Amino acid sequence: MAILRRDYLIVGAGVAGGSVCEGIRQYDPKGTVMLVGNEGELPYSRFRLFGGGVAAEIPSLEDLRIFSPTWYAEQAIDARLDTPVRQLNLERHLAVLSTGQVVEFRKACLATGTRVHRPLVAGAALGNLFYLRSWRDVIALREASASEPHLAVVGGGAVAGLVAAQFAQRSGSQVFLVHRGKALWNRLLDEASAAWLTGYYESKGVQMRVGEALNGFEGRTALKNIQTKSGQRFPAGAAVVAFGLEMNLGLVANTPLSYPHGTPVNEFLETDEKGIYAAGAIAAYPDKIFGGVRRSELEDCARHQGLVAGANMTGKKRQRFEWMPHRTLTVFDLRFEWVGDFSRTPTRLEVEGDRASRQFLVRYFLHGNLQGVTCCNQSPEVVADWKERVRNQPREFKRHAA
């Protein structure tokens, strides 16, 4: 049996996987590198795609890619798209590709990312229902929703808020947002800010149906109505379902690399399996700033992790991973930025500015420690200042983070 031999195998062709390739090539220009994944395109920015691809002009793949196709050729990266790994033997360092080929690798990085969560309700497979994950999904949504008088978004998180805002900026369409929570972005904002934002969406023409749990979708072949568990029914010729993401851990199921909180890695992003690293949304890493273990689905984190993991895989550059969480979302004329840790319920909040003026910030404290700051329409200088303040906040438990 012929076996392909590679020094480095990167499993997953998203931003994290592409960045691992760059990290490797910075310190090892000659080692053989194979990038494989079930993605049909070379690594590109999903954040930039979803941030403006529904209502505005959809960016081209050339603009979204983190590297051009020629870069992979110049760097001698063996990139195999639409080629997921079917089996992975961690002990023997062997991978079986969907093509049937067997790859023997010296080191590997798992960067399998996430998939969209699909609700188990009636009608979830109807036409004109969209679960956004790729550039092709956005293209299809744009075409299907172009002339629909009734559009809907189901969900209350980041993607739901982005799409609803973009739908609302079109003329001639009635837009519904159905969310079982009390307010939009109730997991991203404090209670008062989330309630204010929900009202702001209503002022922009979005018909907010918060506190309404999804019961199912109606239609024979294509979507016609959305029904909630309270019995309400909303017309929709096209809808986006944004119920969050699930980690792609099937490849390492029933191994020490698969846990509900992700794949555990150390501060160098290496797992307990020697020579096996993880980066991106599946990597559960020790948080050197806030303590404990953290996993992030943010693209900036995936990019940084990929660079660090790639460098460490070469053995020629040993880097510890540290990241200060920072997220930016823009809806209508509101630019929100989050810096810090929002995973734990704060014991105290401080609000500066006026929400009604659309320019404010909220500081989150946990037992006297500044954990994070939410900024709305603040200058880059203000955001950078608070980022440093949060980073440098003394925390007694930092010494236990590793």
For residue 171, with 0-12 CB atoms within 10 Å meaning exposed, 13-18 middle and 19 or more buried, which class applies?
exposed
Determine the pLDDT at residue 1.
56
Instruction: Round to whole Å and give the CA distance between 228 and 99.
Output: 44
Determine the pLDDT at residue 372.
97
- Tally of CB atoms within 10 A around 10: 35
Phi, psi (deg, nearest 5) at residue 295: -130, 135
Share of the chain above pLDDT 70, in %: 96
Radius of gyration of the chain (CA): 22
Specify whether the CB–CB gap between 174 and 149 falls below 8 A.
yes
Determine the pLDDT at residue 47.
87
Determine the pLDDT at residue 401.
38
Determine the pLDDT at residue 57.
72
* CATH topology identical between 3-115+246-314 and 118-243: yes
Specify whether the CB–CB gap between 242 and 160 falls below 8 A.
yes
Instruction: Round to whole Å and give the CA distance between 264 and 63.
Output: 33
pTM: 0.93
Instruction: Round to whole Å and give the CA distance between 109 and 355.
Output: 44
Instruction: Round to whole Å and give the CA distance between 112 and 14.
Output: 8
Q: Where are the beta strands (DSSP E) in 54-100?
A: 77-80, 85-89, 94-97
Low-confidence spans in the chain with pLDDT less than 70:
1, 51-56, 396-402
Quick check: helix, strand or coil at residue 208? strand
Backbone dihedral region for residue 269 (phi beyond 0: left; psi -120 to 50: alpha; all else: beta): left
Helices H / strands E in the chain, number of each: 9, 25
- Tally of CB atoms within 10 A around 2: 5
Determine the pLDDT at residue 146.
87
Domain boundaries 118-243, CATH class: alpha beta
Residue ranges of domains in the chain: 3-115+246-314, 118-243, 333-400
Domain boundaries 3-115+246-314, CATH class: alpha beta
| C-alpha dihedral, 223 to 225 to 230 to 231, nearest 10° | -120
Assign domain 333-400 to its CATH architecture.
2-Layer Sandwich (3.30)
Instruction: Round to whole Å and give the CA distance between 364 and 346.
Output: 6
Per residue in 243-259, pLDDT (tens digit) is 999 999 999 999 999 99
Determine the pLDDT at residue 50.
77
Q: Concatenated DSSP letters for 238-260?
A: EEEE---EEE--GGGTTSTT-BT
Per residue in 36-68, pLDDT (tens digit) is 999 999 999 998 887 644 555 778 899 999 999
What six digits make up the tokens of 40?
A: 């049909």
